Structure 1
Amino acid sequence: MSHPKEPEPGKALSDFATGALPGIGDYYSATQLRADRWSVLSDVAEELAVHGVDGRKSKKLLKQAEDLIIALTPIETYWAFPGAAAFSYMHRLLEQRKIADFSHAVRRAARALISGAYRRRTIHLTAEESENEDFEDEASLSPDARALGRPYFEVLIVDDLNEHQERWLRSRLQNARRPEDAYIYEPVIVPSLEDALIGILFNHNVQAVVVRPGLALKSRNNVKLLNKYLRRGGADEDVDALDPEEYGAETCRLVHSIRPELDTYLVTDRSVERVAAQDLGGCRRVFYNQEDFFELHLNILRGVNNRFKTPFFTALKEYSQQPTGVFHAMPISRGKSIARSHWIQDMGAFYGPNIFLAETSATSGGLDSLLEPRGPIKKAQEAASRAFGSKQTFFATNGTSTCNKIVVQALIRPGDIVLVDRDCHKSHHYGMVLAGANVVYMDSYPLHEHSMYGAVPIREIKHKLLELRASGKLDRVRMVLLTNCTFDGLIYNVERVMEECLAIKKDLVFLWDEAWFAYARFNPAFRQRTAMHSACGLRRKLRDPERKDQWIAQSEALKDADDEAWLDTRLIAPPDARVRVYATQSTHKTLTSLRQGSMIHVYDQDFKGETEQAFHEAYMTHTSTSPNYQIIASLDVGRRQVELEGYEFVQRQIESAMSLRRAVTTHPLLSKYFKILTLSDMIPSQYRESGVEAYYDAKRGWTDTWDYWATDEFVLDPTKVTVTVGGTGWDGDTFKTQILMDKHGIQINKTSRNTVLFMTNIGTTRSSIAYLIEVLISIAKDLDDLLDDASKMERRSFDARVKSLVEHVPPLPDFSRFHTAFRNGNTSEGDIRSAFFLAYNEDNCDYLDLDQALQEKLETGEELVSASFIIPYPPGFPILVPGQVISREILTFMRALDVSEIHGYRPDLGLRIFTADALNAVAAQLK
């Protein structure tokens, strides 16, 4: 069957009866296109069944059905259901005008795709086969019923076969199946290396790839929306120069680099010994020529089972079923204290029995200990390490705040200098206090008009390091601590940051707070900007002999250069630099886990020698001896999920956010009151080398070149959508609580003075996005009605509110400096611990109102020093820390704030500051 010519972007395939079907160019992903085309095809087939081939609408309906079939033809080659044979059968029915049979087959296929029924059983498309079949909707099944079914997946087989050879291959795989197999799979056969790359990026059902010797190089499809996948996540490498004998090995390597969680198997007719010695990525097995299909079948199942295993969750389930007599300090264990109660039966009814059956203590035996794991918890953490690409992974049951403190305490000694992102999470600031670090705060670039900070430019980080080098303090610098990605979605070029810093000090440790970025590992573009992936890549780079020569040449060129030259140069790390990287992730925030489930990922070359014991002590310090086993089990299951379907869920998460972007940008009423902040709004041009300005533009459509993710200093996480609401006359906090939550039941977290942040996650559905858009349209219509009925004075009041939110926004202050009483020398690091504990003595502190008198004190040159953390919410970052000098800019910003809460500030007393006597006493001790 010939491939269709793709319609122009923005145009529908045909003048469909619904009049609402978007054109191909309106879709961000082929997955959404496929779902919508099948839905419309089902509707058209239904109408054809009613009107027949001779009705007034029949000609138009037949043309629509033909167009849809042609449009779906190249798409369906990458999916096992309904499959090439069944799809050809439906097309023949249409050509032969067997409309009743065509309508029946299409409706059943479409319904099975929507419900997921094809994952549980064979779907019969003919009326004779299906008339007695009980058609279950997956969504209507109970969790227990769904859990009993065998999980379904698809295997991508790469080989250029004719129709006869393909039938033979399918039959051999079919014959290898056994009733006792734990999983069920169907093959998808594609002819070329390029089709394999499209397939693993387009078809989220694929869990294994079998590469056979007859594969071709290039894809024969000409659908732009499919070929976009070749440009995503590094799948656009030039393969034209490959020799045919290299196709198989290169396919395995590329599949592993793009989706490392997939199992790959290579079948070759060449010397298996020589092939196995090549770089095959993560290829699990090499088979010679006419392979044993049963052995291949077993390997495919075993590979999926390795990812499916949940050591601790399985152990916990087994434990819950054991008869146990409870004689330890947990009355709730086994639910006994609830079952015997006359007053708390509702708790047992609400939670169900299993949560109590699985409740126990680590000291009672039968399971593993989080503090000293040797059994299923240890195995679960090893599986998580494999999934997230770390050397070691540790579970935490009390959130990433504790993870941050564990890492800091393990690595920082009193007096060590740490470079910290000033607007990072408060747990880092408190971690510095506990560790006794001397803190150098780094300023992010400000986004004044939206009352939010961006991220710390690499030039700022290098400047602080060079400043400390010039002062002879570089030996004391221990760590660089940054947030990636930020709450607002700004993502660093992680590998570049680490390499340039290591070029100045080769043994730096990096802590990346990835609280909001745990899902990034499971998307090819995102992965390249994660801490663990970047650490692995940097280590490989440092081993490259060519890189060593480049470093020698650069070192010679910079030998007598001033700091400005170092700042202007893209620095290369020395080959003997140590890769020491830590990442903390809030699994519960962005993946599947119970509240407070978090992980620490480690890629530290010196962990075993220098850090392991200190890390163990820090872990013991901050981890409860009574950890919640349900949280640990949820971390184990969450890991299983992302290894098996993380790519699918993250892709849908991105698609949802992109749909929201397009809807708000193109809707005339929404764009009147709301604006989605684009890349150019969030990232100044000097940090966007590519010049890319937006993910979606109403005139140009989608920006789908992901190359800039490898080059630009900062990129924007598309799943985080910041919307300006100043045009509504409501500030961000009011819009969040009184409009979105109270009126419409929409929950969000982050706001600024004039923005709200909508974050999609792996649980976001298209229905959720549709509801949000409906709500925003409703709000906009209400505002239109309100302004239309408003008096002249009411309209003037509204305009004034908008102006105050959009134009009269107080500028964000930079970090001022630490007072000299908490500094040692002329560099910017400060002893935040001494300042923090000095405030424990109330005689050392005083309070001042935020009034004109305080402003006048500053104007006369009097130094006022904060005795506590001051954190306005929103925006939620500390504008003052203990020991910091209060600047006029900070005071102006605080007085202009109209937020509901300022943590650390008491309105009844004022701003807490150190007395002059307390500061003088500390300064005297330093002399």
Structure 2
Amino acid sequence: MNIFAILNHSGVFFKEEPVRELHASLEKAGYKVVYPVDAQDLYKMIEMNPRICGVLFDWDKYSLDLCSEINALNEKLPLYAFANQHSTLDISLTDLRLNLHFFEYALDMADDIALKINQATEEYKDQIMPPFTKALFKYVEEGKYTFCTPGHMGGTAFQKSPAGSIFYDFYGPNAFKADVSISMPELGSLLDHSGPHKEAEEYIARTFNADSSYIVTNGTSTSNKIVGMYSAPAGSTVLVDRNCHKSLTHMMMMSDVTPIYFRPTRNAYGILGGIPQSEFTREVIEQKVAATPNATMPGYAVITNSTYDGLLYNTQYIKETLDTKYIHFDSAWVPYTNFNKIYEGKCGMSGEAMPGKVFYETQSTHKLLAAFSQASMIHVKGEFDKESFNEAFMMHTSTSPQYGIVASTETAAAMMRGNTGKKLIQDSIDRAIRFRKEIKRLQSESDSWFFDVWQPENIDTTECWKLDPKDSWHGFKDIDDDHMYLDPIKVTLLTPGMNENSEMSETGIPASIVAKYLDERGIVVEKTGPYNLLFLFSIGIDKSKAMQLLRALTDFKRGFDLNLTVKNFLPSLYNEDPSFYEGMRVQELAQGIHDLTRKYRLPELMFKAFDVLPELKVTPHAAWQEELRGNVEEVPLADLVDRVSANMILPYPPGVPLVLPGEMVTAESRPVLDFLEMLCEIGAHYPGFETDIHGVYAQKDGSYTVKVLKQN
């Protein structure tokens, strides 16, 4: 971090010579000294290089305006002003809050000034680093000899083996020295929330506007189970978003609860829509309770916010309308919403607590902030039994948590604090909007076709764009006003094949072909639908990555229009089955898949498949218990109608269950099966285009089977 910026181009000897002396002293102390050419260059340098730990400038030339501009970028960055005996120090009490130090131009003072700068730098590092991470770093620096777990002893064991040495060299020493046992008292305990672990969770709660926060080291899949297991005792009824993550289905398989589902919408593209406002009213919930055997009024409800495709709710309406004690927002995909004003009122921790209610927000820190995989957080607002909650926490938490994940979770929170964090998120939003506009510009200039963006026509304002019932771009029918909003960071591109009226075109380019082309060029798509591709503009996406994506998309258009052979255009796909793809051209491949999609009348299928849900026959818990007892059998996928599914069935992407354990696909909900059969048929016809479907098993003869409960 020791980069020091000096803004000094006075050309006056009595100022230049002390700066030269200070330069030498700083280099001797281990600093790299850089010289921006002017104030604008300095601002850009601070923006682009977070390792700058201090700025020195001439007070007579730059004064407080420079301090204010730097403060807007990083309010904790130490600033140093050189002044002379005649300098005017016109500073108010407010200005004195700046992290500002004064030195006088004088010779032979450089070593003393460098010492003061080094002290301030250490204070700066101490200020910006969070508590647990500091304690972990200190422990590693002490280099203690331990006679406890983990057995690799700071990496020593790996270096006793050739394979282990290669592994050790790849990750480096600190990764292993920081992998320590829970036996270290100076680090506290994640399980009983003591010491630096407790300080870390309190630090995170303050950062994310929560009353309490918990660090979870096995992803939001585990966070969801912790919240559900505490909030929904056996025998109770739970309200669950039908577009829930499979971890919530697993929670219901583990705990004997009765589910009632919020029924959301989908559009013709297969993009997951929101739950209508009426679904949250007591009247509708009472009707569902009356229609569900053994159901009672629920005390726990879980809503996916945002959806996989970036739709956020008006959460204040849900909090005020939904008559349950516990309201859980599964916000795995949006851990950044507390740090920009466009998300106000659209996230779980927005607003104040409400008497008699507890709000949860579970977040995957690793997904769109900077943390290791599996890093997750639970945020809570409201009064709850912390001792009982911690029992649920410990049920799902290892007694040997990975401290690197803990530290990365806390550091992700530290990165979001203050002006620096706000700027990181604002930059992501701005970069995503610029990319959206560039796609629209290229489309308008194209002489034939180009990719489109799923968004409103006018995106001149920086906001979460409302899904207006009067607009057609979103493709959802009969939606509520002021209810759902599109997050600009989640960019969905559309390929030709379907128009704005949800009608199939004669020709089309399935998005799966584009995704395979991008993968050939080292670009991984987050989610691929029939004619849509999702890209996430996280804080780790920079301008060069966005430009590479634009370049790859234009290259795809060029190659597609030239109708290149699959062998030349998609060599990895060709290698899946050379005999099948020999001589085939990309336009033939695209039209073949498109024709299969048209055969199944995709738009109509998408609307119908999620209009009537399969019928609940037994709870997910009861179905799982029957499977454990062996009371299941495999049947062809086509025979699923009128049979009770033993497992959840969900295609990836998007990984949302279509059929849950204990449910029966009936004649009315038959479109669910039609949708699954369409995916299977595309995979059967075109090698390399198989869909990963959890709960559907491919057989050697090319057929597919599912597990169902045995009939009595």
Do the structures match in fold with TM over 0.5?
A: yes
Per the TM alignment, residue 125 of structure 1 is displaced from its structure 2 partner at its CA by 4.4
Per the TM alignment, residue 149 of structure 1 is displaced from its structure 2 partner at its CA by 5.1
Per the TM alignment, residue 435 of structure 1 is displaced from its structure 2 partner at its CA by 2.2
CA distance in 2, matches of 1:585, 1:761: 15
Per the TM alignment, residue 780 of structure 1 is displaced from its structure 2 partner at its CA by 0.6
Partner of 2:653: 874
**Structure 1 counterpart of 2:270, one-letter code:** S
CA 618–298 in structure 1, closer or farther in 2 if over 3 Å, else same: farther
CA distance in 2, matches of 1:795, 1:430: 42
Per the TM alignment, residue 290 of structure 1 is displaced from its structure 2 partner at its CA by 6.5
Partner of 2:149: 329
CA 358–642 in structure 1, closer or farther in 2 if over 3 Å, else same: same
Per the TM alignment, residue 445 of structure 1 is displaced from its structure 2 partner at its CA by 1.0
Residue 494 (structure 2) pairs with residue 724 (structure 1): yes
Residue 696 (structure 2) pairs with residue 905 (structure 1): yes
Partner of 2:364: 586
CA 386–687 in structure 1, closer or farther in 2 if over 3 Å, else same: closer
CA distance in 2, matches of 1:767, 1:363: 45
Are the aligned partners of 1:816 and 1:886 in contact in 2 as well (CA < 8 Å)? no
CA distance in 2, matches of 1:445, 1:470: 23
Structure with greater helix percent: 1
**Structure 1 counterpart of 2:677, one-letter code:** R
Are the aligned partners of 2:527 and 2:533 in contact in 1 as well (CA < 8 Å)? yes
Q: How does 1:368-379 map to 2 (within 5 A)?
A: 368-379=188-199
Partner of 1:762: 539
Residue 209 (structure 2) pairs with residue 389 (structure 1): yes
Choose which of 309, 320, 323 in structure 2 pairs with 1:499: 320
1:733-787 Cα deviation digits (max 9, x unpaired): 4432x31112x10012211122110110001111111111111111111111127
Are the aligned partners of 1:679 and 1:715 in contact in 2 as well (CA < 8 Å)? no
Partner of 1:424: 244
CA distance in 2, matches of 1:788, 1:354: 49
SS at match of 1:476: coil
Partner of 1:895: 677
SS at match of 2:194: coil
CA 905–291 in structure 1, closer or farther in 2 if over 3 Å, else same: closer
Partner of 2:637: 850
Residue 303 (structure 2) pairs with residue 482 (structure 1): yes
Partner of 1:651: 426
CA distance in 1, matches of 2:448, 2:388: 54
Residue 67 (structure 2) pairs with residue 187 (structure 1): yes
SS at match of 2:534: strand
Per the TM alignment, residue 598 of structure 1 is displaced from its structure 2 partner at its CA by 0.7
**Structure 2 counterpart of 1:407, one-letter code:** V
Partner of 1:713: 483
CA distance in 1, matches of 2:625, 2:131: 44
Partner of 1:460: 279
1:657-688 Cα deviation digits (max 9, x unpaired): 1121111111133981422112489xxxx984
CA distance in 1, matches of 2:587, 2:172: 55
**Structure 2 counterpart of 1:894, one-letter code:** L
CA distance in 2, matches of 1:624, 1:136: 49
**Structure 1 counterpart of 2:494, one-letter code:** T
CA distance in 2, matches of 1:726, 1:880: 30
Per the TM alignment, residue 291 of structure 1 is displaced from its structure 2 partner at its CA by 3.8
Partner of 1:123: 7
Are the aligned partners of 1:819 and 1:885 in contact in 2 as well (CA < 8 Å)? yes
- Which of 657-666 and 392-401 deviates more? 657-666
Residue 135 (structure 2) pairs with residue 340 (structure 1): no
Are the aligned partners of 1:409 and 1:618 in contact in 2 as well (CA < 8 Å)? yes
Residue 602 (structure 2) pairs with residue 809 (structure 1): yes
Choose which of 617, 623, 638 in structure 2 pairs with 1:835: 623
CA 432–679 in structure 1, closer or farther in 2 if over 3 Å, else same: farther
Partner of 2:128: 308
CA distance in 1, matches of 2:212, 2:595: 52
Are the aligned partners of 2:305 and 2:311 in contact in 1 as well (CA < 8 Å)? yes
Are the aligned partners of 1:754 and 1:805 in contact in 2 as well (CA < 8 Å)? no
TM-score (norm 1): 0.58
Per the TM alignment, residue 841 of structure 1 is displaced from its structure 2 partner at its CA by 2.7
Partner of 1:549: none
**Structure 1 counterpart of 2:449, one-letter code:** K
Are the aligned partners of 2:75 and 2:98 in contact in 1 as well (CA < 8 Å)? no
Higher alpha-carbon Rg: 1
**Aligned sequence identity (%):** 27
SS at match of 1:614: helix
- Which of 628-637 and 903-912 deviates more? 903-912
1:150-178 Cα deviation digits (max 9, x unpaired): 25699xxxxxxxxxxxx99986x7xxxxx
Partner of 2:502: none
Are the aligned partners of 1:733 and 1:874 in contact in 2 as well (CA < 8 Å)? no
SS at match of 1:665: helix
Partner of 1:446: 266
Per the TM alignment, residue 602 of structure 1 is displaced from its structure 2 partner at its CA by 0.4
CA 670–756 in structure 1, closer or farther in 2 if over 3 Å, else same: farther
CA 153–590 in structure 1, closer or farther in 2 if over 3 Å, else same: farther
SS at match of 2:645: coil
CA 792–475 in structure 1, closer or farther in 2 if over 3 Å, else same: closer
Matched residue pairs, number? 595
CA 835–792 in structure 1, closer or farther in 2 if over 3 Å, else same: closer
- Which of 882-891 and 627-636 deviates more? 882-891
CA distance in 2, matches of 1:671, 1:691: 29
Q: How does 1:525-564 map to 2 (within 5 A)?
A: 525-534=342-351, 536=352, 539=354
Per the TM alignment, residue 307 of structure 1 is displaced from its structure 2 partner at its CA by 6.1
Per the TM alignment, residue 351 of structure 1 is displaced from its structure 2 partner at its CA by 1.5
1:15-61 Cα deviation digits (max 9, x unpaired): xxxxxxxxxxxxxxxxxxxxxxxxxxxxxxxxxxxxxxxxxxxxxxx
Partner of 2:665: 886
CA 188–416 in structure 1, closer or farther in 2 if over 3 Å, else same: same
CA distance in 1, matches of 2:360, 2:123: 29
Are the aligned partners of 1:845 and 1:914 in contact in 2 as well (CA < 8 Å)? yes
CA 597–581 in structure 1, closer or farther in 2 if over 3 Å, else same: same
Q: How does 1:257-296 map to 2 (within 5 A)?
A: 291=93
Are the aligned partners of 2:215 and 2:376 in contact in 1 as well (CA < 8 Å)? yes
CA distance in 1, matches of 2:468, 2:74: 36
Per the TM alignment, residue 407 of structure 1 is displaced from its structure 2 partner at its CA by 0.5
Partner of 1:551: none
CA distance in 1, matches of 2:224, 2:613: 24
Are the aligned partners of 1:726 and 1:805 in contact in 2 as well (CA < 8 Å)? no
1:696-718 Cα deviation digits (max 9, x unpaired): xxxxxxxxxxxxxx972100011
Q: CA RMSD in A?
A: 4.1
CA distance in 2, matches of 1:694, 1:124: 54
SS at match of 2:299: strand
Are the aligned partners of 1:451 and 1:875 in contact in 2 as well (CA < 8 Å)? no
Partner of 1:617: 391
CA distance in 2, matches of 1:488, 1:598: 20
Per the TM alignment, residue 306 of structure 1 is displaced from its structure 2 partner at its CA by 8.8
CA 530–306 in structure 1, closer or farther in 2 if over 3 Å, else same: farther
Per the TM alignment, residue 346 of structure 1 is displaced from its structure 2 partner at its CA by 1.8
Are the aligned partners of 1:519 and 1:590 in contact in 2 as well (CA < 8 Å)? yes
Partner of 2:108: none
CA distance in 2, matches of 1:330, 1:794: 53
Per the TM alignment, residue 309 of structure 1 is displaced from its structure 2 partner at its CA by 3.8
Partner of 1:786: 563
CA 152–355 in structure 1, closer or farther in 2 if over 3 Å, else same: farther
CA distance in 2, matches of 1:625, 1:603: 26
Partner of 2:257: 437
CA 510–765 in structure 1, closer or farther in 2 if over 3 Å, else same: same
Are the aligned partners of 1:670 and 1:776 in contact in 2 as well (CA < 8 Å)? no
CA distance in 1, matches of 2:9, 2:168: 46
SS at match of 2:238: strand
Are the aligned partners of 2:6 and 2:56 in contact in 1 as well (CA < 8 Å)? no
CA distance in 2, matches of 1:586, 1:835: 29
